[in-house]
Amino acid sequence: FGLERRVDTLLREYKSRKPMNRGSFPDIAFSRSSSSGSIATDEGLFEQQELQTPTSGVMEKIIRRRSLQLRNRQHAWQESDEGREMQEFRRSLPSYKERDALLTMISQNQVVVISGETGCGKTTQVPQYILESEIESGRGSLCSIICTQPRRISAMAVSERVAAERGEKVGESVGYKVRLEGMKGRDTRLLFCTTGILLRRLLVDRNLKGVTHVVVDEIHERGMNEDFLLIVLKDLLPRRPELRLILMSATLNAELFSSYFGGAPMIHIPGFTYPVQTHFLEDVLEMTRYRLTSYNQVDDYGQDKMWKTQKQGVRKRKSRIAFVVEDALEAANFKEYSPQTRDSLSCWNPDSIGFNLIENILCHICKKERPGAVLVFMTGWDDINALKDQLQAHPFLGDQSKVLILPCHGSMASSEQRLIFNKPEDGVRKIVLATNMAETSITINDVVFVVDCGKAKESSYDALNNTPCLLPSWISKAAARQRRGRAGRLQPGECYRLYPKCVYDAFADYQLPELLRTPLQSLCLQIKSLQLGSISEFLSRALQSPELLSVQNAVEYLKIIGALDEKENLTVLGHHLSMLPVEPKLGKMLILGAMFHCLDPVLTVVAGLSVRDPFLMPLDKKDLAESAKSQFAARYYSDHLALVRAYEGWKEAEREQSGYEYCWKNFLSAQTLKAIDSLRKQFFSLLMDTGLLDDDPTACNEWSHDEHFVRAVICAGLYPGICSVLNKEKSVSLKTMEDGPVLLYSNSVNGKESRIPYPWLVFNEKVKVNSVFLRDSTAISDSVLLLFGGNITRGGLDGHLKMLGGYLEFFMRPALAEIYLILKRELEELIQNK
């Protein structure tokens, strides 16, 4: 397909290419798996940067005037009635007693570690104390405080709260910035942002010029970005002696952080929480059994019509629950549990029996307990939705005049999220179903009952097999205590743990830091682009360093895709990739899409992969939804091309004002498509900045209609994510080199095929659940793999041959290996001659 001509022109163009536009590094993020970062290009977080070094008397005057304005505004608010009321509330928080001590400590030390129970007033108060005292002392317009949050929702919610406490709107002195969204103004002095945003900021501005205070919140969570940020900041501190670093943690492991920063002073905010009574599974079973027997004997739930007519069913249910629980307890040998038999824990799976158990305990609370909201900790979005459906079908819990069931999840719209903070009407029981994000970063004040399933979905990384896993696993003791604490905010509470005491005793004290359980590719690329030296040396300075093997895998991957050369230096490609707000492989797709002039569809694929899947799969209409999706993929054997067609169809429908019907008919999420749409635009302008697009923008779509080109670019991006296809009689068997047999997710369009007329699939992601599953795949031909699989610049093509040749040999395709040799020779000649 005109490839030679293209290679020819490319090589010619390459020589005459103008140097890259390095000036405008965008403010960008990673991928959909990372909650933080920002896509929006940033014109600088703080405008007063230029004002930092007053060069003339005029500047000084402006600074003085703005500082004065800030102070006057602060005084006016503090003296107003509303302001007084707010002050009173703020003074009631435990952190207020430590206010002066905190401020003195911060002024006298470069690093301070603050710990205190959730809700004591760290996030909303500490940055605000700093801001207030700076404004008070007339330095208002010179201070610039950045407070990082691990999650978008908390950055947004907290800035709103702090602005309200200051009698302002968000965007005045207090602002926020998260991926794709932000609100800040000329006078913004306190900015809540995700950790990813600050990391990206460091790309442009290694010394954080103009920033006076960095507050890193929720460090106890030990997220990868936070751990990474701490290494960078530790290096930065000697260069910026006046910069203040404040670390805030919800648990008492402050010593760890303090000693990391050479014995930085610690301060603990003694919090007050009401006592919370803990019920382990044993007690919970007693209660729910009581509930079931009492139903049979006294009929005290007589109002549940359905239950009355289905007594038989209830009896069956009871015996099933009792049976399953007892059986599981016995199987896992809990009575004699010891850490050595840790594996036996996996027999005990609350997910399989948990729903009925949760339903029972919720009935018990609603009917027998005092008023107060219930917070249920679940493992993930699927669980939350499934449980919500089950509860809503329940004769009592489904009665909306008595029970209000609210899911709470990071990917919900902010308006929906706000509902969970509101107080329900009298007589209505609020039940919030949440993931572990409700552990520390958000606070629902009226919670009195906590139901804790004991598990959280934890991403982990199997370095030996180089495979990411996402499995529900047991939480730590610290997390369990944290969950329990959520019940005692305003009055004594109750915590129902759906696991036996002996299981709790075996929990780890703290969760393993994320750095030790995730693939490190994006991180390694970032280390290189921030010029932080040798990757392994840099990471060895982390609070807890990742395994050497994980680092090696990541570096090797970056070499395979051509982002790093053999000496671990950033290549031109790597340099471009580090500036794009997506995982390296998606960045590579973007760049190749631009170079091979099929940009439009590639933009859609990359945007789709970095937001989330727009194809909806409602459980009750799964078949319909799947067939709608497969229509888009007809003949293509590609989830990515299905997405491209769905998106294009939607754009067309939008033009005819029928976007909504189109989505409805095809089981697509309009919201996600809109997000994809806006992301595409941003990617396009980022590509413009890199100087990779021709001056004539239509040129980059010369081949966009040609599915082969798009397939080839997808292959180039996703390689080495490749698996071989073997068509059997009635089914397809798939195999990768590292894992052996693998399966496709059922919502992949290729998952339903009984024959795939291509020898290979490239895939975006594989996840180990019980077997290894592939997500989002595209079928490709031999020639595409030969020409686009891998990195022909690596080691003068030899490295590439070794890699690809290894694949071809492994999959017993010697003929291809030979063709490959010929092609390689020709290509080498071609390159030499030019």
Q: Which residues bind Mg ion (CB under 5 A)?
A: 122-123
If one asks whether residue 338 binds ligand CDP (CB under 6 A), the answer comes out as: no
* Chosen from Mg ion, ligand CDP, none, partner binding at 157 (C-beta under 5 to 8 Å by type): ligand CDP
Nearest approach, Cβ of 113 to Mg ion (angstroms)?
14
Using alpha carbons, list the distances in angstroms from residue 41 to 65, 209, 338, 573, 605. Answer: 30, 18, 53, 20, 21
Give the number of other CB atoms < 10 A from CB of residue 415. 7
The nearer residue to ligand CDP, 248 or 391, going by C-beta atoms, is 248
121 binds, among ligand CDP, Mg ion, none (CB under 5 to 8 A by kind): ligand CDP
Are 742 and 774 within 8 A, CB to CB? yes
Nearer to ligand CDP, 217 or 600 (CB): 217
> Residues with Cβ < 8 Å from 622, sequence gap 6 or more?
none
Q: Is 119 in the site for ligand CDP (CB under 6 A)?
A: yes
**How far apart are CB 29 and ligand CDP at their closest, in Å?**
24
Which one, 123 or 144, has the nearer CB to Mg ion? 123
State whether residue 83 is helix, strand or coil.
helix
- By beta-carbon distance, which residue lies closest to Mg ion? 123
Q: How far from chain centre, in Å, is Cα 419?
A: 22
Amino acid at 662: Y
Q: How many angstroms separate the CA atoms of 588 and 564, rounded?
A: 13
Quick one: what does residue 712 bind among Mg ion, ligand CDP, none, with the CB cut-off 5 to 8 Å set by partner type? none
Query: Could you tell which of Mg ion, ligand CDP, none binds residue 110, using a CB distance below 5 to 8 A set by kind?
Result: none
Which one of ligand CDP, Mg ion, none is in contact with 125 (Cβ closer than 5 to 8 A by kind)?
Answer: ligand CDP
Instruction: Let me know if 377 is exposed, middle or buried by CB neighbors in 10 A (0-12, 13-18, 19+).
Output: buried
Whose Cβ is closer to ligand CDP: residue 78's or residue 459's? 78
Smallest gap, in angstroms, from Cβ of residue 101 to Mg ion? 19
CA–CA dist 42, 26 (Å, integer): 6
Interaction of residue 443 with ligand CDP, rule CB under 6 A? yes
Enumerate residues 65-84 that contact ligand CDP by CB under 6 A. none
Q: What angle do CA 704, 710, 712 make, to 5 degrees?
A: 140
Element (H, E) at 763: strand 760-768
Q: Is 604 in the site for ligand CDP (CB under 6 A)?
A: no
- The three-class DSSP label of residue 322 is helix
Smallest distance, Å, CB 373 to ligand CDP? Answer: 14
Q: Which is nearer to ligand CDP, 160 or 613 (CB)?
A: 160
What span, in angstroms and rounded, lies between the C-alpha atoms of 412 and 156?
Answer: 13
Helices 3-16 + 814-833 axis angle, to 10: 40
Determine the Cα–Cα distance for residues 237 and 234; give it in Å rounded to an integer.
Answer: 6
Please say which residue, 162 or 644, places its beta carbon nearer to ligand CDP. Answer: 162
| 603 burial type by CB count under 10 A (0-12 exposed, 13-18 middle, 19+ buried) | buried
Contact 191, 176 (CB under 8 A): yes
- Shortest distance, CB of residue 734 to Mg ion, whole angstroms? 45
Closest CB to ligand CDP among residues 443, 793? 443
- Among 31, 48, 115, 118, which residue sits at the site for ligand CDP (rule: CB under 6 A)? 118
- Contact with ligand CDP (CB under 6 A) among 37, 121, 454, 500: 121
Through-space distance between the first and last CA atoms of the chain, rounded to whole angstroms = 21
Burial class (CB in 10 A: 0-12, 13-18, 19+), 611: buried
Residue closer to ligand CDP, measured from CB, 320 or 418: 418
Q: In terms of CB distance, is 447 or 801 closer to ligand CDP?
A: 447
From the list Mg ion, ligand CDP, none, which binds 119 (C-beta under 5 to 8 Å, kind-based)? ligand CDP
Window 142-171: contact mask with ligand CDP (x via CB under 6 A): ---------------x---x----------
Q: For residue 356, with 0-12 CB atoms within 10 Å meaning exposed, 13-18 middle and 19 or more buried, which class applies? A: middle
Angular region, 16: left φ>0, alpha ψ -120 to 50, beta rest: alpha
Binding residues for ligand CDP, rule CB under 6 A, total 14
Single-letter amino acid code for the residue at 282: E
- 430 near ligand CDP (CB under 6 A): no
Q: Whose Cβ is closer to Mg ion: residue 123's or residue 545's?
A: 123
Q: How many H-runs (helices) and E-runs (strands) does the chain carry? A: 34, 21
Cβ 167 to Mg ion, closest distance in Å? Answer: 22
b/e for 729-743, b at 16 or more Cβ within 10 A?
A: eeebebebeebeebb
Taking the least distance from each CB to Mg ion, the nearer of 123 and 724 is 123
Are 87 and 78 contacting, i.e. CB atoms less than 8 angstroms apart? yes
Q: Beta strands 181-183 and 174-178: pairing type?
A: antiparallel
- Nearest distance from C-beta of residue 250 to Mg ion, angstroms: 7
C-beta of 122 vs 161, nearer to Mg ion = 122
Sort 471 into a burial class: Cβ within 10 Å, 0-12 / 13-18 / 19+: middle
Q: Tell me the closest approach of the beta carbon of residue 237 to ligand CDP, in angstroms.
A: 24
CA distance 681 to 170: 26
Which residue in 400, 445, 631, 771 binds ligand CDP (CB under 6 A)?
445
Write down the least CB distance from residue 276 to Mg ion, Å: 19
CB-wise, 155 or 784, nearer to ligand CDP?
A: 155
Closest to ligand CDP by CB, 93 vs 112, is 93
Among 73, 122, 213, 394, binds ligand CDP (CB under 6 A): 122
Q: How far apart are CA 610 and CA 32, in angstroms?
A: 4
Nearest-approach distance from CB 147 to Mg ion, in angstroms = 10
Q: By CB under 6 A, is residue 438 in contact with ligand CDP? A: no
**To the nearest whole angstrom, how small is the minimum distance from the Cβ of residue 161 to Mg ion?**
11
Smallest gap from residue 484 Cβ to Mg ion (A): 17
Indicate which of Mg ion, ligand CDP, none lies near residue 124 (CB less than 5 to 8 Å, by partner kind).
Answer: ligand CDP
Q: Which amino acid is present at 796?
A: G
Q: Are 154 and 442 in contact (CB under 8 A)?
A: yes
- Do residues 174 and 163 lie in contact, with contact meaning Cβ atoms separated by under 8 Å? yes
Q: Please, what is the minimum distance in Å from the beta carbon of residue 425 to ligand CDP?
A: 20
For tokens 């290096």, the residue is 235
Taking contact as CB under 6 A, which single stretch among the options 16-24, 118-126, 224-232, 783-791 is the one that binds ligand CDP? 118-126
Q: 174 or 397, CB closer to ligand CDP? A: 174
Alpha helices in 667-772 (DSSP H): 670-690, 707-718
Nearer to ligand CDP, 159 or 225 (CB): 159
- Identity of the residue numbered 692: L
Cα(604)–Cα(593) distance, rounded to whole angstroms?
A: 11
Say if residues 191 and 486 touch (Cβ distance below 8 Å). Answer: no
CB of 93 to ligand CDP, least distance (A): 6
Q: Is position 93 an interface residue for ligand CDP (rule: CB under 6 A)?
A: yes
97-116 residues near ligand CDP, rule: CB under 6 A: 116
What's the min distance (Å) between Cβ of 688 and ligand CDP? Answer: 39
User: Which one of 48, 124, 144, 466 is in contact with ligand CDP (CB under 6 A)?
Assistant: 124
∠ CA 498-502-505, rounded to 5°: 100
| Closest CB 509 distance from ligand CDP, rounded Å | 21
Residue nearer to Mg ion on the CB measure, 123 or 188: 123
Task: Please tell me whether residue 125 binds ligand CDP under the rule CB under 6 A.
Answer: yes
Distance CA 602, CA 607 (A): 8
Least distance CB 122 / ligand CDP (angstroms) = 3
Instruction: Give contact residues for ligand CDP (rule: CB under 6 A).
Output: 93, 116, 118-125, 157, 161, 443, 445
